[in-house]
């Protein structure tokens, strides 16, 4: 079997694939808040931090790893049959190691938990994660040191963003120079999990490395200009950067003795959740886009030539096959949908009925849904604005929040210059057909929900297969992804009669957004 793990913002999930058909044979998941309540996280992050900060305890993530393997073993899964493991981590988050980490990883004993053993190897007990937007000052410093935003965009595929790792490292260095001086190596959420499984400090793959503002996207190597903009010693603290299909090691003896894994089981490089979702959805053409409706909502697609976003809201990352992908990330994803659902005390079924109850075209209302600070467009101070929309009307508010999310995706993805004919959907909300119908109507494209709600875990499992098999045979990425591409039978069709209405409403939405941003 091939195992894909997904260490996402709120949960750790596993997806096991049959080695011949590449079909899913087992899926399981645990949520940090519920499974590990002693860390006191809320939606996977620490509560009560300073304004705009978002951090999580990395020891919670490794404790989850122990728990998930124990659960899989207990439910009778033949873990000894796993040939290779790859994984997916919430992008941008960083983990800080001191000089002890390497030897700790090398000598993990099954008699103690991972969390207990790894704790002395961390130089920072909390890891900043992608929801953090507290580093605007550091983004400015970096941008100036690197020669301006166009230069940063051109080298790294994105302008300097608050959640990207470069600004986060700079903030750590400035606010806790003592702890920074004890930091000998910096990993990402993805490479940290890979390090634990491999028993060695793991490299960072090109895909997740693209979310750091440190990778030279043309050279596939750490950019000297960008690393120096953070600190002259930064390159000495970064692990090597490797292709996403690299087998980095066999599994650590810890997992062999404790959970019965085969000592020859390969650990492939982990990557970010967005590149992994590209793999899990089998995206390969520019006329097909994808939407992930999770904690964050992301809109992404493949890109044949390196083209950056002139409006600088979007990103270019490496995709799992070595091509490029474009991506836009919206922070007001599931938390905004949840906020509306909870405000009116609705179940998800009632939320869907509300959505279906109001015909598009019979309204002019708009909601600007910044329940939390937003990445695209950049909104640092949360605020919800309602135009022609009464707060007392549950159905209208349900429709308004979903329409806002879809219209924002449509407007902000215009730089990609592709009008998708087909959109694959993944993430928790991709199971909700009423939400997907709004997506189809706004984009006037067919929408196809993925085979599993978790394309990132499936993509990781496919990447494990790809890395493992590429060692001995020629295996094209297309061959692999065909096996799991979503089936056309569940396709949701756009309703043409609403095309003109949504074109106009999206235009009005764009104007309302501009007025809000520019004051």
Q: Does 270 bind ligand XUL (CB under 6 A)?
A: no
Residue 83: is the preceding peptide bond cis (ω within 30°)? no
Nearer to ligand XUL, 98 or 274 (CB): 274
Residue 192 makes CB contacts below 8 A (sequence gap 6+) with 58, 61, 89, 95, 202
Q: Could you tell me how many residues of this chain bind ligand XUL (CB under 6 A)?
A: 14
Nearer to ligand XUL, 45 or 82 (CB): 45
Check: CB of residue 113 under 8 Å from CB of residue 63: yes
Q: Which of residues 423-452 bind ligand XUL (CB under 6 A)?
A: none
Around 313, how many Cα atoms within 13 Å sit in the side-chain half-sphere?
22
Distance in Å, CB of 432 to ligand XUL, minimum: 19
Distance in Å, CB of 134 to ligand XUL, minimum: 15
DSSP annotation of 444: T
Tell me which stretch binds ligand XUL (CB under 6 A): 37-45, 291-299, 425-433, 441-449: 291-299
Residues 16-55 vs ligand XUL: string with x where CB under 6 A?
----------------------------------------
Length in residues, the chain: 519
Give the residue from 273, 243, 228 showing the smallest Cα distance to 129: 273
Phi and psi (nearest 5°) for 11? -155, 165
Tell me which stretch binds ligand XUL (CB under 6 A): 269-277, 305-313, 360-368, 395-403: 269-277
Q: At what angle do helices 334-343 and 348-357 cross, to 10 degrees?
A: 90
305 burial class (0-12, 13-18, 19+ CB within 10 angstroms)? Answer: exposed
362 burial class (0-12, 13-18, 19+ CB within 10 angstroms)? Answer: exposed
Q: Does 165 bind ligand XUL (CB under 6 A)?
A: no
* Integer angstrom CA distances of residue 378 from 133, 234, 516: 10, 28, 11
Q: Where are the alpha helices (DSSP H) in 89-188?
A: 101-106, 114-118, 136-146, 149-156, 165-175, 177-181
Residues 200-219 vs ligand XUL: string with x where CB under 6 A?
-----------x--------
Distance in Å, CB of 148 to ligand XUL, minimum: 22
Radius of gyration (C-alpha) of the chain in whole angstroms: 22
Nearer to ligand XUL, 89 or 449 (CB): 89
Residues 67-96 vs ligand XUL: string with x where CB under 6 A?
-----------------------xxx----
Phi and psi (nearest 5°) for 230? -90, -55
Nearer to ligand XUL, 211 or 453 (CB): 211
Nearer to ligand XUL, 121 or 459 (CB): 459
Distance in Å, CB of 367 to ligand XUL, minimum: 22
Closest-by-Cβ residue to ligand XUL is 91
DSSP annotation of 239: P
Both tokens assigned to 179: 């702890």
Q: Does 9 bind ligand XUL (CB under 6 A)?
A: yes
Residues 372-411 vs ligand XUL: string with x where CB under 6 A?
----------------------------------------
Tell me which stretch binds ligand XUL (CB under 6 A): 77-85, 226-234, 290-298, 432-440: 290-298
Beta bridge partners of 205: 242
Residue 144 three-state SS = helix
Tell me which stretch binds ligand XUL (CB under 6 A): 198-206, 271-279, 361-369, 402-410: 271-279
Residues 214-253 vs ligand XUL: string with x where CB under 6 A?
----------------------------------------
Distance CA 173, CA 175 (A): 6
Q: Does 274 bind ligand XUL (CB under 6 A)?
A: yes
Residues 114-133 vs ligand XUL: string with x where CB under 6 A?
----------------x---
Q: Does 11 bind ligand XUL (CB under 6 A)?
A: no
Both tokens assigned to 128: 């900043």
Check: CB of residue 69 under 8 Å from CB of residue 82: no
Q: Does 298 bind ligand XUL (CB under 6 A)?
A: yes
Distance CA 465, CA 275 (A): 16
Distance CA 374, CA 163 (A): 11
Distance in Å, CB of 1 to ligand XUL, minimum: 26
Distance CA 50, CA 28 (A): 34
Q: Does 296 bind ligand XUL (CB under 6 A)?
A: yes
Tell me which stretch binds ligand XUL (CB under 6 A): 36-44, 145-153, 293-301, 435-443: 293-301
Q: Where are the alpha helices (DSSP H) in 372-494?
A: 394-412, 433-443, 455-470, 477-482
Nearer to ligand XUL, 1 or 290 (CB): 290
Distance CA 315, CA 178 (A): 33
Tell me which stretch binds ligand XUL (CB under 6 A): 64-72, 166-174, 193-201, 294-302: 294-302
Q: Which residues here bind ligand XUL, judged by CB under 6 A?
A: 9, 90-92, 130, 163, 211, 272-274, 295-296, 298, 329
């Amino acid at each position: 079997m091939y195992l894909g793990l997904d260490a996402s913002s709120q949960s750790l999930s596993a997806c096991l694939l049959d080695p011949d058909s590449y079909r899913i044979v087992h899926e399981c998941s645990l949520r940090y808040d519920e499974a590990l309540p002693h860390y006191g996280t809320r939606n996977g992050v620490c509560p009560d931090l300073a304004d705009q900060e978002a951090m999580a305890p990395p020891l919670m993530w490794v404790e989850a790893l122990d728990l998930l393997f124990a659960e899989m073993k207990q439910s009778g899964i033949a873990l000894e049959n796993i040939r290779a493991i790859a994984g997916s981590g919430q992008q941008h988050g960083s983990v800080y190691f001191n000089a002890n980490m390497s030897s700790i990883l090398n000598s993990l004993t099954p008699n103690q938990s991972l969390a207990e053993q790894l704790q002395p190897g961390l130089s920072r007990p909390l890891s900043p994660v992608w929801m953090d937007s507290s580093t605007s000052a550091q983004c400015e410093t970096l941008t100036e040191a690197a020669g301006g935003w166009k230069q940063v965009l051109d080298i790294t595929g994105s302008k300097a963003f608050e959640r990207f790792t470069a600004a986060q490292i700079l903030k750590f260095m400035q606010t806790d120079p003592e702890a920074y001086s004890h930091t000998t190596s910096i990993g990402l959420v993805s490479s940290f999990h890979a390090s634990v499984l491999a028993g060695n400090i793991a490299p960072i793959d090109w895909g997740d490395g693209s979310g750091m503002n440190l990778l030279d996207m043309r050279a596939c190597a750490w950019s000297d200009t960008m690393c120096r903009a953070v600190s002259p010693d930064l390159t000495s603290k970064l692990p090597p950067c490797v292709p996403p299909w690299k087998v980095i090691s066999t599994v650590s003896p810890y997992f062999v003795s404790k959970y019965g894994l085969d000592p020859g089981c390969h650990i492939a490089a982990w990557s970010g959740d967005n590149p992994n979702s590209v793999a899990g959805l089998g995206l390969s053409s520019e006329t097909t886009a994808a939407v992930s409706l999770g904690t964050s909502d992301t809109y992404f697609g493949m890109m044949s030539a390196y083209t950056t976003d002139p409006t600088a809201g979007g990103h270019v990352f490496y995709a799992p096959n070595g091509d490029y992908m474009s991506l836009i990330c919206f922070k007001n994803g599931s938390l905004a949908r949840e906020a509306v659902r909870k405000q009116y005390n609705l179940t998800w079924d009632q939320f869907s009925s509300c959505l279906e109850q109001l015909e598009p075209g019979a309204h002019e209302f708009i909601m600007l849904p910044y329940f939390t600070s937003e990445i695209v467009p950049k909104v640092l101070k949360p605020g919800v604005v309602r135009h022609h929309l009464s707060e007392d009307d549950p159905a209208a508010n349900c429709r308004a929040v979903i329409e806002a999310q879809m219209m924002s995706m449509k407007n902000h993805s215009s730089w990609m210059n592709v009008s998708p004919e087909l959109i694959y959907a993944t993430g928790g909300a991709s199971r909700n057909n009423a939400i997907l119908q709004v997506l189809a109507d706004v984009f006037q494209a067919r929408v196809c929900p993925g085979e599993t709600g978790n394309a990132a875990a499936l993509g990781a499992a496919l990447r494990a297969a790809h890395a493992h098999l590429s060692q001995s045979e020629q295996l094209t990425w297309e061959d692999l992804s065909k096996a799991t591409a979503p089936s056309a039978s569940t396709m949701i069709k756009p309703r043409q009669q609403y095309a003109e209405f949504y074109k106009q409403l999206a235009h009005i939405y764009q104007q309302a957004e501009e007025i809000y941003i520019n004051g």
